[in-house]
Structure formats: C-alpha cells, structure tokens
Structure 1
C-alpha cells in the first residue's frame, strides 16, 4: 500500500510517498496564501483521503478542560490567534486575560518546538481506524514549527497545519457521533530541529510583574539598611563612644586664662624700680546699651583721668558692625588698666552684662622716669617688653599663664556646674630681675645730668658709674629720659638708651689707649720725653695743639696727657704703628659690643689698618675717625683702673624666681690688656690731667682724693659728616692709687669743651658716689709730675 501505515505504537509512518506529497501540497498551499485556514484544511483532507481514512468512521474525541481554555469566543485557540497576531500585527483582545489564566506564558517559538519534538508517539490503534491524537498533543504539534513571519509550519516542508475543529455533535436518530477529522502529524526529525528566530522586541508581549521578585529585592534592601544601622550603632557605642563623649565634654568646657603677674625690676638693694599692679579692663556690649549718650556721661565721670574721651565712649557704645561690615560688634574695650577701686564704682552703676570687667595689670614705676632708659617699657595691651631690660629679660619677667578649665551650662546655667569637670593650672608669676644699679645713686646722677644738659641745650648726654673691681654698673643715666609708665608721650629718639646706642668720636679720651699700648710694648716709660712741633701734617690734614707748642719742644708723657697734645700723641702713635694701635683698640673693646645686657647696643666702628687713608695716622690716635659708645669708653678706663684687666660691664646681678630661688647670670668676659705695673704707671700719668698747671681737667679734681682721668672734645658723626656742636667728655677714676669707681660723662652740646662742661659733672657725680658708699681718702700724696723735663 502506497499510503501511510500506522506503526506498532499507533503513529504514522513519515516515510510514505503519499504523506510526502500531502506535505508538499500543504506547503504549496501555505506559500500561495490564497485559502487561509481553508486551504490548509483542504490539504489536510486530501491527505486523509489518500491515506484511506474515513472521517465518518472516526470516533468522537472528548475534549478536556485544559483544551477548552485554549479556545476563545471566536472559536479559535489562543495559540492560533497568537500565531496570526505575530504574522499580521493584529491580535485577539482577549488574549492577555487568557494568558493570565494560563499562568502568564505562551508556548511559542523554540520552547514549543522542543516540546513537539519530545512528544511521545500515540499508542497503536486498531486496523481501519485513525489514530487518536490527544488535543493537547495536537495543539503542541501546531506550535512546534513557526517560520519567520509568524506562520506555523509542520513536517519537513513546513506546510501550514489545519485548524482544530470542535467535536462533532451526534447525528440525530443514530446515536453516533460523526468521526472527527484529524490532521496527521508527522514526527519531526530529531536532527532537523527547526531554529526559530526571536521576534522583534516591539512585537513581544509585555512581561507581567512578578511580586515575589520585588518582595525579595525589598527584603534584601531592608536587611542591608538595618545592617548598616546596626554597624553604625556598634561603632558609636563601642569604637567611637569615648571620642564623642570627649567631644561633648569639650563643648561644655570653659577655658579661662589666668594671667601670670609680670615680675618686678629691682635695684641692687631690692628697691622696686618697676613692678606690676592688678587693674581692670572695662568691656562694653553696644547691643545691650539702651542709651549710649547717657551711659557715656556716667562712665566718663569715672574714666576721665585715664585719658578716655567721651566721644570715644559714645562711638564704642553705639551698636555698630566690625570692620568687615557683617559681624555685630558685641565686645569693645572702653578702658584698659584702670584701678580696682574705679572698676567697683562703675560696677555699682548697675549695667549688668552690658558693662563687664576683665582682670588686667599695668606696670607701675615709682620713680617715674628713674633709670627709664635702662628699664625700658612694655606694650600696654599684653605687657610684652619693648625696650631696655623689659625687652632683654622678657622671658624671665613675663611668667607662665595659668588655665582654669571647668564644665558649665547654657543660658541661665552659664556657670561652673557642681560636681562637673574642673581642672585648675595655677599661673606661675614671672621672676624678678635685680639690677646692679643703686636707686639712690641713679637718682643723683640722673638729676645732675638732666639739669646740666637742659641748661646747656644739649642734644644728648650720658653718665655712667662703674664699680672698678667688678665692672658692675652702679648708675647709668641718659638725657633725654622719659616716663617709663607712659612712653607714648615722649619722642621715639628719647626712648633709646644713649649710653649704649649712640655713637660718637671719642676725641682725646682715646689718647689713653695710645699711651697704654706704648707702655705695654716698651716704647715709652713714665720718664720718656717726646719732641713736639707746633703742627704735624698727615696726608692732606694738618694737626695742631691748643695752645700750640714751639717747634722742637720736649714734653713728658704726663705733660702730653695733661695738655692733651695732639702732636705729641701722634708722635707716640708713629712709634707704635698702625697695626699695633689697631690691635690694642680691639683688646680694649672698641669696635664690638660690650654685652652689658641691653638690646640695641651699638658695636661702634673701628677702621682696620688696610682701610686707613693718608690722614688716618693723624686722626685716629687722637680719637677722630673712630666711632664708639659711652659704655665702651667707660670700659676702657675700667680696665686701666682694674690693673689692666678688661672686664665686661654688667647690669644684672641675679634673677629671683617666685619661690625665692636666685640665679646669677653667666660670669662676665675678661681679658688681660696690660700688665698691672703698666696700668699703674698709666693711672699715675693720668693724675696730671687734674693736678698739673694748665692741665685740661682741673675742674674734675675732688679735694682729698686723687683723681686720674682724661678730657675729650670731638664731633658727632651724622649723615657721612659731622653734626654741629661738640661732643665733650671726661672719664676718670678715684681714688687713683686704688680705684673703686669709674665715672664717664659725655654730652653733645652746642659749644664747650670737656674740661669746662664734662669735668664739673664728673666731679659732682664722683663725689656723690664716694660719699654714698663710704669711700674715704687714702691720705697718700699725689705724685710729682711735670709737663716739660
């Protein structure tokens, strides 16, 4: 038989020729697309007739509930409609609802083809009857193959399958049900599985939401959030708890600085030269002041003697902005360093928080301007040293501020909390500085200098008293002076210490260095004589004496010093040579700071031999062309008085800590300049300045005491030249046979000489010094000296 034959399992043999022809006919009918589903059905009927199957003889097929769901009210299955929808772009409007009933899935494409391939063969049927194909299997076979344009295909040729028909109703009167026509389905080859391409995304059915997936995602996010919160809580409670607790405590802590009291400056006997007293600063909050004018009037009545202006009080008490123009000015100093008594008067006015007070202190100078150029002054705001001892020993004087840290509340509870945190670091007051100056002697020297300089119209004046044995400064006065408690009222030039900061040509007081060096080098002796002329020329400058000597006049060394002979001194310097002269200048301390203990000390200026000019051998020996300070020249004569030992001058004896511990400064620098025997010879020759006839220093003589010293008259360097006027000086020691004190007086006056201006001041100051310290005359006779041999 040429048609399809059922196999043992009831399937249809796919290799029959009639089946292949039927498949080709169906395929051709599908390609022509003229008969739609009818064409497909016709092809199926022709295939069945050729196979010898009688449709009327087929038993009715009983449908199932699952099969019934697949039919729409139009009589077509949902899946058939889907196939048409994919191919034509139109679909059944009830398909989404039916898909929900089916579980939200459509078996199309590759999955349907796979199920069709895996469908088991139907069981074998009796001979003469068509094999029974379950409706679901038939539907799966219809979905098994779909071509690209959405049309379903079957078999190797891809013929369009006929649509499934409803089960035929029984024929009346016969009780038989017409046989259902079925479409034979060929078993697809396993190796020829049709690969169906995906439909375009625009033609896909929209995916339905899946609540379970969203619920799982929300659960995961919630767990992550709670995990993060838990980790942060653990971190706050365990890891960072102490840090946050400390930060919270810090926000509740108040830090009040306890200002350390500045140390005092004392004289050598413990008298106070300057010290600090407790005061108050008045602070105003302009935004709490209701009537600035009235408030300023009431405050001015108390603060007028502190230099406060009423207009300033009104301006400060009127609400205003800071300099940035944005911030309210809630804190303004109305007055600084007022007395405690006056602050209590203001407090009684009852301004409350609008007017507050702050602890302060000010420097008080009992002596007004006593030793003010030595003491210096402090800045008013923070009491930091600005000049003199206040600046040089600022670290020791200022002390260390204390700190009061306590826990406080807010608002009305803005006060230390009971049982709260509190830490008190007491302030450590500054140490006191004890000077070598004697207050009584300082007053006498300073008063005498000031009176004389004022009378003469001097530009500046200095007076220094040294202890010849220790080189301690017993008194050091400057003119002009100033009020150390209120330096703002004085000119800036008046504030400096003239003894250490002002330089000048020493003049004839420099001749002692020339004679001392010549004695030490053995070039002269006290009995030596020097031939002098009326003048001597060095380079382009001629040097003479006053009065001039006759040419070829022989003079003794004491005579040259007594008459202050320029020609004779230049002759001795020629014997010494410029290199040796420069060496002894350095050894006596010229051209370098003494280190007496004051800031802004000048080193002076000393010309090295290689820089000398043609006139230098004549000008430098007589004290011109050399810039020195008063303290440097006082130290030179101190070395002569101290038997040739140069000792560094000192101003500070010791530092006294608040607990009474005393600390002495480093030992002064010393160096040997002359042998004692030559120093004694030089002192003896210098006595002739006050004893020999026609000597320049007669006015420095003190009855009963032997005085050794030298006068000087020179110029004040200024802007590369010399200022008008004369720099006059006298430096001497007493008693000359065993010196106890050295007094150096220097002044720049419009006119005058050392013998007429400085010598009388020396006499007055030395007499007071000897008297105050009980130095009595030795009773030894003065040496017999001559000017000419």
Structure 2
C-alpha cells in the first residue's frame, strides 16, 4: 500500500495549512478593522460614489446712494441645465423639452448633438423663479435647475456709468461693480446631498458651509442730484445737437462725488443692443485740452508769486500777440486796451494771460496745476480712468508758456478739473476725492495759500456777475463763481485740430460766500446755436447748480433786499428767487 505524500512530508502540509490559517486570519482582521475600527475608509469610498456638494449661491452686496436709495440689488433667478450624455438616449423627449423651454426643436437638437460628449450644458440662464419652476414642474427627463442671483439696477441708465454692471456669472465688469469686486462679492456655501449613479437627487443631507453675502456699499452719489444732472445734460445735448457730454458735482468740504452723469448712456438691465461708445464714463476716461477754464489756475500762480495783485493792469491792445511764427489772439473784443486781472478773466483774454505767464514763468504755472491735481491720478481707482498729460519742459519757451497758461498743450479729465475748482472753493485745501460716502471730513492738504484762494473766489464771482460776465451761469438767489472755456478738438491719428469741432466747458462752484459744491460741465461738439462755453455749457451749470443748492437746503446768499423788492413791485417785476 502506498503512503500518502503528506505523510511522507508532514512539514509541507503544516506550512500550507499555516499559510491558509494566516490568510484567513488576515482577511478576518481586515473585515473587523474596516467595519469596527477603521470604518471611515468604507464610508469615504461609499460617499465618493454617492455624496455630492452642491454650491449655495451668495448674493452680492447691496449698492446704495448716500441716502440709502438702492442702486444695485441682487434678485434670485433659476438656471436650467442638462447632461447631454443622458439625453442622447432619449431623443423622443427632445421635442417636449424644447417646447417647454420655448426653443426651436431643430436648434435644440443640434446643440445636444454638438455637446454629446459633455456631461454639463446650460439650457437657459436667468429665468425668474416662477418661469424656472414652471419648466421644472413638468419633471422633464435630464432637465435640472440651479439657484443663482442676477443684478438689477433700479436707476437704470441714470447711474449706469458709475455703478457699472456684472456679467452672466455675477462678477463685476464695469464701474463700481468692478472696482469694489472683493467687497461686493459674496462667498458661496456648500450643501451636502446624496445622488444616484445617474446624478439624480436622493436626499438633501445637510448644509456643509453657509453662504456669506457680499457687503453693502454706500456710494457718495446723491440720487436726487444724479437725476437732475442726467436730465439737464441730456436736454443740453438735444438742444445743441451735441455728440456727447459729461457733468460732475463734488462736495467741496468732503471731496465726495455727488453726481457724475455722462451722455450717451445705456440701460444696464438690458444690454442686448449696447453700443461700446455708450459704455464710456467720459468724465473719467475722456481727456481734453481744457481751454480757458484753467486761466483761474494760472492766475492763482501769478497771485501766489507775489508779483501780481488783482488791481494790476495789463495792456491787451490790439487783441493779438506775435511770438515768432505763432500768433496769440483774443477770441472776442475786450472792453478796453488795458485790463486788470479780474478783467482778463471776465474777457477771457489770451493776450493778457500770456503776458502774465511770461512774467512768472511756465514752471510756476506748471507747479500750481500739478498741486491742484491736473494730469495726476485722482486715487479713485475707477476702472479705465485716464491720467492725462501735464507737460514739463527743461526750458520753458514763450510759446509753450503761453499755451499752457490759457489751457492748451495739456490734457486732463473732467474729474480732475472739478477737483481743482473744488480745491479753490475750499480755500486752497485739497481734499481727496471719494466715490463712497464719507462720514468724517478728511484733513486735506493746503496746496494754495488761503488768501490767494479767497481772492480767486471773488474774482470768479465777478466773471459770472459782471456786466460782461457769463450771465447764463447765474443762479437766482445765490452768488456763484465760475469760468467758461472753449477748446478745439485734437485730431485723432493726425497732428493738429479737427475743423469745426469744439468742446464747450464751464467750471465753477457755489454759493460764493461759503462754497459747498463744485461742478464741471463738458459738452462735446455742439452743432446748432454755437459752441462757446458761455453759450452752451453755462446754462446747464446754472440750472443744475440752482436745483442742487435747493435740494441740499443751502441757504441763499443773494436774496433781494426789502428796497429792491419794493422797487420791483413798483415796476411790475416779480422778485424771482
């Protein structure tokens, strides 16, 4: 009888048996370990196949004007999406889905086929919750909804250039929406859910992380003044057949931008037919030669030098001045062959301003303009804002000195010009500009001596109120100060100026006795009644300044006396305030 092989080699049998026992023991231990000790391992792998995190949208912060009026709010919307891979096996459902969405069946089928290899495709975005629920209520196969937020702008085109807008993903793309993106944008949350292998929701488990909404932003804009500026600027463009325009109002004491209107404008709530030119915030982006509106700044440099006083005389006859091959001319006939400094401003004499500039030098005028912020960054951080150019020469020749003194050879923006006038109105103290509401008046820096600034305030009041002054800028019941300007438009792509193309300007502040607001009006290429700043822009200044001073409850400083009222009544004239 043959012996078994295991009996011949008992040690081999024991080794195999021991190995099998160890394997069974290891497997048993692993089972116990996974189910009792290290149970998170199996849970993690199970969750990876069924647990999903759905983002919880966070709405952007509210944007308001200085008084709490909403300028940008977030409203809930529904976005519909699908998985094209799932829909490829349900072609018979395509016509029903397209009909429910109001889409063309052929175009819908073509989109599905083009995205057949993808697992996600938007069907329709930005539906109202009611519209979205109407579609989702049909329980169409492969159609799912996402909760999102969309921006709505209550003031529409009135504040479009300031507030800006967001894109389809609710990210800031223009204006304040872009410059304050980090402040306004919220932080999305997460919701934990269970889904099957087809992506269908089985159970809403919990909120893993709450959404954090964006912060509220209070702008410096006063919506009442913004509406007023928008209306009068729009009317001015129609009346004068102008191409574009800007109007900016700044609080003299705080540096807050109270209104910033531009034309043409656009509706941020409906941008389907938006023209790129309408999107430009011209008050901050368009640069131009300011013309005679900088003569008060040049005059400030003369007074600051100590070489000139308001009563000093300058000969301006015969109204022209030859510098080599360059001729300086006065646009209008002056009231006499000799003018004092106030008379030079009233008559806007280029010849008189040039002679003063020759005496004090171009460097002195450059320094004063630079100190007042011309050609400098405003610090507002507005997207696309231009700095312009304030030239500085190693050697100031007469032609360069003269042209700078009466507003040519430099390029600035409307916001820079209004800041300069606000500084003059604030007794020479420059306060930083702000697009957000300021609760504490900033310190500011004294960039022009106080006595010089006060002298200029009186001189500019005469520019408006003198017999030959810019009477169209006058405001009943108030003393106001300002200066008109007319500048030729530089050619684009070639040297020189465009023929018959002008910018009409007016810059000023009021009330003169205690200035509160500064304003600049720029009208681009007026083509009907004329193009001089005193004719085109001054009336806009007068109307907006009158409305602004009343809306801000600023006490009138130019009411008629009892004797004047009695005389007006006797002559049959009503005392209009």
TM over 0.5: same fold?
yes
Instruction: Give the deviation of 1:723 after TM superposition.
Output: 4.1
**CA displacement, residues 406-454 of structure 1 (integer Å, 9 cap, x when unaligned):** 455557984227xxx6443211111111111111221111011112213
Contact 2:358/2:398 (8 A) holds in 1? no
Aligned pair 1:296/2:98, yes or no?
A: yes
SS at match of 1:475: strand
Return the alpha-carbon distance in structure 1 between the equivalents of residues 220 and 124 of structure 2. 36
Return the alpha-carbon distance in structure 2 between the equivalents of residues 604 and 582 of structure 1. 14
Instruction: Give the deviation of 1:472 after TM superposition.
Output: 1.2
Task: Give the one of 726, 745, 750 matched to 2:521.
Answer: 745
Contact 1:320/1:328 (8 A) holds in 2? no
Task: Give the one of 186, 189, 196 matched to 1:402.
Answer: 189
Return the alpha-carbon distance in structure 1 between the equivalents of residues 82 and 515 of structure 2. 62
| Number of the residue aligned with 2:382 | 598
| Number of the residue aligned with 2:571 | none
Structure 1 unmatched ranges of 5 or more:
1-209, 301-309, 655-663, 783-789
* 1:97-496 correspondence to structure 2 within 5 Å: 237=33, 242-284=40-82, 286-287=87-88, 288=90, 290-300=92-102, 310-311=103-104, 314-317=106-109, 320-322=112-114, 327-329=116-118, 331-348=120-137, 350-380=138-168, 382-407=169-194, 414-416=201-203, 422-496=206-280
Return the alpha-carbon distance in structure 2 between the equivalents of residues 637 and 476 of structure 1. 16
Aligned pair 1:701/2:474, yes or no?
A: yes
* Distance change >3 Å, CA 412–CA 523, structure 1 → 2: closer
Q: Which has the higher strand share?
A: 2
Return the alpha-carbon distance in structure 1 between the equivalents of residues 443 and 24 of structure 2. 74
User: What is the CA RMSD across the aligned residues, in angstroms?
Assistant: 3.1
SS at match of 2:327: strand
* 1:625-640 correspondence to structure 2 within 5 Å: 625-640=409-424
| Number of the residue aligned with 2:565 | none
| Number of the residue aligned with 2:453 | 679
Return the alpha-carbon distance in structure 2 between the equivalents of residues 351 and 423 of structure 1. 25
SS at match of 1:687: helix
Aligned pair 1:607/2:421, yes or no?
A: no
Structure 2 unmatched ranges of 5 or more:
562-577
Task: Give the one of 537, 550, 559 matched to 1:758.
Answer: 537
Return the alpha-carbon distance in structure 2 between the equivalents of residues 377 and 704 of structure 1. 40
* Distance change >3 Å, CA 577–CA 383, structure 1 → 2: same
**CA displacement, residues 52-84 of structure 1 (integer Å, 9 cap, x when unaligned):** xxxxxxxxxxxxxxxxxxxxxxxxxxxxxxxxx
333-342 or 609-618: which moved more? 609-618
Contact 2:254/2:441 (8 A) holds in 1? no
Return the alpha-carbon distance in structure 2 between the equivalents of residues 497 and 723 of structure 1. 23
Return the alpha-carbon distance in structure 2 between the equivalents of residues 364 and 244 of structure 1. 47
* Distance change >3 Å, CA 411–CA 630, structure 1 → 2: closer
SS at match of 1:246: helix
Aligned pair 1:690/2:478, yes or no?
A: no
Aligned pair 1:771/2:550, yes or no?
A: yes
Aligned pair 1:544/2:329, yes or no?
A: yes
Instruction: Give the deviation of 1:720 after TM superposition.
Output: 5.1
Aligned pair 1:517/2:291, yes or no?
A: no
Return the alpha-carbon distance in structure 2 between the equivalents of residues 674 and 553 of structure 1. 31
Return the alpha-carbon distance in structure 2 between the equivalents of residues 649 and 498 of structure 1. 17
282-291 or 518-527: which moved more? 282-291
SS at match of 1:652: coil
SS at match of 2:394: helix
Return the alpha-carbon distance in structure 1 between the equivalents of residues 9 and 356 of structure 2. 117
* Distance change >3 Å, CA 618–CA 572, structure 1 → 2: same
Instruction: Give the deviation of 1:772 after TM superposition.
Output: 1.0
SS at match of 2:218: strand
TM-score scaled by length of structure 1: 0.64
| Number of the residue aligned with 2:566 | none
Return the alpha-carbon distance in structure 1 between the equivalents of residues 21 and 375 of structure 2. 83
| Number of the residue aligned with 1:508 | 292
* Distance change >3 Å, CA 446–CA 319, structure 1 → 2: closer
Contact 2:422/2:518 (8 A) holds in 1? yes
Return the alpha-carbon distance in structure 2 between the equivalents of residues 251 and 539 of structure 1. 87
* 1:21-32 correspondence to structure 2 within 5 Å: none
Return the alpha-carbon distance in structure 1 between the equivalents of residues 18 and 498 of structure 2. 94
Contact 1:511/1:623 (8 A) holds in 2? yes
**CA displacement, residues 703-743 of structure 1 (integer Å, 9 cap, x when unaligned):** 22111100011133333534451011001111112111112
* Distance change >3 Å, CA 699–CA 412, structure 1 → 2: closer
* Distance change >3 Å, CA 414–CA 701, structure 1 → 2: closer
Return the alpha-carbon distance in structure 1 between the equivalents of residues 378 and 324 of structure 2. 33
Instruction: Give the deviation of 1:231 after TM superposition.
Output: 6.1
Return the alpha-carbon distance in structure 1 between the equivalents of residues 7 and 521 of structure 2. 110
Contact 2:344/2:353 (8 A) holds in 1? yes
